[in-house]
Structure 1
Amino acid sequence: MNAADGIDSILPYVKIGSAFEIVVDWTTEYLGALFDGISTFVESLVDPLVDVLLAPPAIVVVLIFAALGWWLRGWKFGIGTAIGLGIVAGMPYWEETMSTLALVLVASALSLAIAVPLGILIAENQRAAALTRPVLDLMQTLPAFVYLIPAIFYFGIGAVPGVIATVVFSMPPGVRLTQLGLRQIDREVIEAGEAFGASPWAVLLRTKLPLALPTIMQGVNQVIMLALSMVVIAGMVGAGGLGEVINTALARLQVGQGFEGGMAVVILAVVLDRLTDSIGARTRSAKAQRALQEA
């Protein structure tokens, strides 16, 4: 018997997986109505958005994004957006691209709806910060595929488990950067608001959040990028979109299809990244202008 066998015989087997299975089985049995409601709610967001994105011709959607890019970043990015999305529209995967975009937008919106309030809570409460920090660390270190397992058990196959897994996977950066933005605010600015008799809610809404907005927008950018990466992986559970195109190409060893699907993902990621980054830059510029006016 070697040393490893001796250690194995001394240390007890911790049945973490069995405990997790018990929790999943219990929640599936007794909270089925809740999960059905969540599934219906997510579908009511995804399906109409997909219909809206697919209603106009592809050229109209391309021109809308190009105009948005022109307005936010300038004519060079506007033309680049038109060329990039034009290439995607020329591929046979425009419907899959719009489906992926809808999934990303819905998942990002739901993730931010949870992440920003949670980030505010842990920024204002030290005990909550201590409790949530290890949870966020765990969420950021778990492999992306792990999130798909409970999502399938609770919501079956389709777009809903993909959205739910994406929400959980992409949430931590939004929480952390919201907390960071609020923690970086100069204490003297907060004390000045309190000195004028403002309530804690007024200080939060009128002083803290506007000053923390540039950092929060960085969190928005990170959430969207992680959501896009996870939505592609979620194609394995029937979420559809470009993830399904890439997974099908991988299963059939179709190099051309895989390259086209990957290229569409890259173009969509670049467009979303630059647009959200531009919004963040505008908030930072507005913040600097207000600081100069106050000085």
Structure 2
Amino acid sequence: MELPKIPIGDAVEAIVDWIETYFSWLLDAISDGLRVLVNGLEDILLAVPAPVLIALTGVIVWFVTRHDIKMTILTMLGLVLIWDLGLWDLSMLTVVLVLIATVIALALSIPIGIGAARSDTLNAALRPILDFMQTMPSFVYLIPAVIFFGLGSVPGIIATVIFAMPPALRLTTLGIRQVPVELIEVADAFGATPRQKLFKVQLPVALPTIMAGVNQCIMLALSMTVIASMIGAGGLGYQVLVGIQRVDIGMGFEAGLAIVILAIIFDRITQNLVPKYGKK
């Protein structure tokens, strides 16, 4: 005797059809806006000569790392290597995709994380959702992105945003919940409003933990670039995909090396922001 099949797939298809029917205008607006943003930022980065951009990046790293000349030199040498390999244009597109996806993910996850830190009900409701998001295979995120936004960089950004949100949200909630009770009591004793407690006590104390979430969000966004290339996101991930399809080890390795270099640069910058701003 066979059990009757639960029509989960049919229900999902019905929901998708309903969204496409009543919210197609919103999906089109999001798609057009993100496409303009990607093209605009990519044009700006490519308009700057590579040596100039490498030098500017070196200056930024030098200041952020508190005058760490070794890290500055290694960063510039890594970018010079990417330029020498002929992967500069693809790298700039990857940087644009990662930055846009990260900004959107943080703009969503940090406020939600603050709300979850202040509400046990919201926190309890979000926990199984975040568990589900973090255990779901990353390839699955490509399906709804393609259904709603077609192929290209826009669905790649949407899939990356969803994939990269959970750690930033979790660590924002954790950081605020770990603020010592004594500090909250002192703020209450001085008559601080909830907004003042949030911005002058909780967020400054929780900033190192929140920045760890930002770091993880960027790393996950960068790791998603290879997977998003399967739906036409472009950038270095597409170069890796082509290398796999052609069984071209050299092409795939060079693109993978460029991704690693970008990941190290992003990682070092975000890690060094924590002691500089989080411990004042």
**What is the TM-score with the length of structure 2 in the denominator?**
0.97
The AA in structure 1 aligned to 2:18 is: W
The yes-or-no answer on 1:152 pairing with 2:146 is yes
Please name the residue that 1:84 is paired with: 78
How far apart are 1:232 and its partner, in Å? 2.0
Residue 224 of structure 2 corresponds to residue 224 of structure 1: no
Indicate yes or no: 2:172 matched with 1:199.
no
Instruction: Map 1:126-165 to 2 at 5 A.
Output: 126-165=120-159
Moved more, 220-229 or 65-74: 65-74
List gaps (5 residues or longer) in structure 1: 1-8, 287-295
CA distance in 1, matches of 2:274, 2:4: 51
The count of residues paired between Structure 1 and Structure 2 equals 278
Q: Residue 17 of structure 1 is aligned with which of 9, 18, 22?
A: 9
Asked if 1 retains the 8 angstrom alpha-carbon contact of 2:41 and 2:96, the reply is: yes
- Which deviates more, 38-47 or 220-229? 38-47
Runs of 4+ more than 3 Å apart: 9-12
Q: Does 1:37 align with 2:37?
A: no
Structure-1 separation of matches of 2:270 and 2:226 = 20
Summarize deviations over 1:164-206 as a string: whole Å, max 9, x none: 0000000000100000110010011011111111111111111
CA distance in 2, matches of 1:212, 1:44: 35
Q: Which of 30, 38, 43 is the matching residue for 1:46? A: 38
Q: How far does the alpha carbon of each residue in 1:230-256 deviate from its partner, in whole angstroms, 9 at most, with x for none?
A: 122111111110111111111111111
1:55: Cα distance to partner? 1.0
Partner of 2:52: 60
Q: Deviation at 1:44?
A: 2.8
Note if contact 1:231-1:243 (Cα within 8 Å) is conserved in structure 2. yes
Secondary structure at 1:269 match in 2: helix
Q: Which amino acid aligns with 2:172?
A: T
- 1:50/1:99 contact within 8 Å kept: yes
| Of 102-111 and 17-26, the range deviating more from structure 2 | 17-26
- How far off its partner does 1:15 sit? 2.4
In 1, Cα distance between equivalents of 2:272 and 2:87: 27
Aligned-partner Cα distance in 2 for 1:277–1:173: 15
CA contact (8 A) 1:70 1:76 kept: no
What amino acid is the match of 1:129?
Answer: N
2:93 and 2:235 in contact (8 A); partners too: yes
- In structure 2, C-alpha distance between the alignment counterparts of 1:157 and 1:219, rounded to whole Å: 29
Q: Which amino acid aligns with 1:68?
A: I
Match of 2:235 among 221, 235, 241: 241
1:14 CA drift (Å): 2.0
Q: 1:18: Cα distance to partner?
A: 2.1
Greater CA deviation, 57-66 or 277-286?
A: 277-286
| CA deviation string 1:236-294 (max 9, x = no partner) | 111110111111111111111111110100000011011111111322442xxxxxxxx
1:61-140 → structure 2 map (5 Å cutoff): 61-73=53-65, 74-140=68-134
The CA deviation at 1:48 is: 1.3
Alpha-carbon offset, residue 11 of structure 1? 3.6
Alpha-carbon offset, residue 87 of structure 1: 0.3
The one-letter code of the counterpart of 2:40 is P
Opposite residue 258 of structure 2, the aligned amino acid is A
Distance 2:95 2:242 in 1: 19
Paired amino acid for 2:264 = V
Asked if 1:282 is matched to 2:265, the reply is no
Higher deviation after alignment, 106-115 or 49-58: 49-58
Q: Does the 8 Å CA contact 2:204/2:278 hold for their aligned counterparts?
A: no
Code of the residue aligned with 2:178 in structure 1: it is Q
Distance between the aligned counterparts of 2:103 and 2:178, measured in 1? 25
Aligned with 1:247: secondary structure? helix
Structure 2 gaps of 5+ residues are none
Give 1 or 2 for the bigger CA radius of gyration: 1
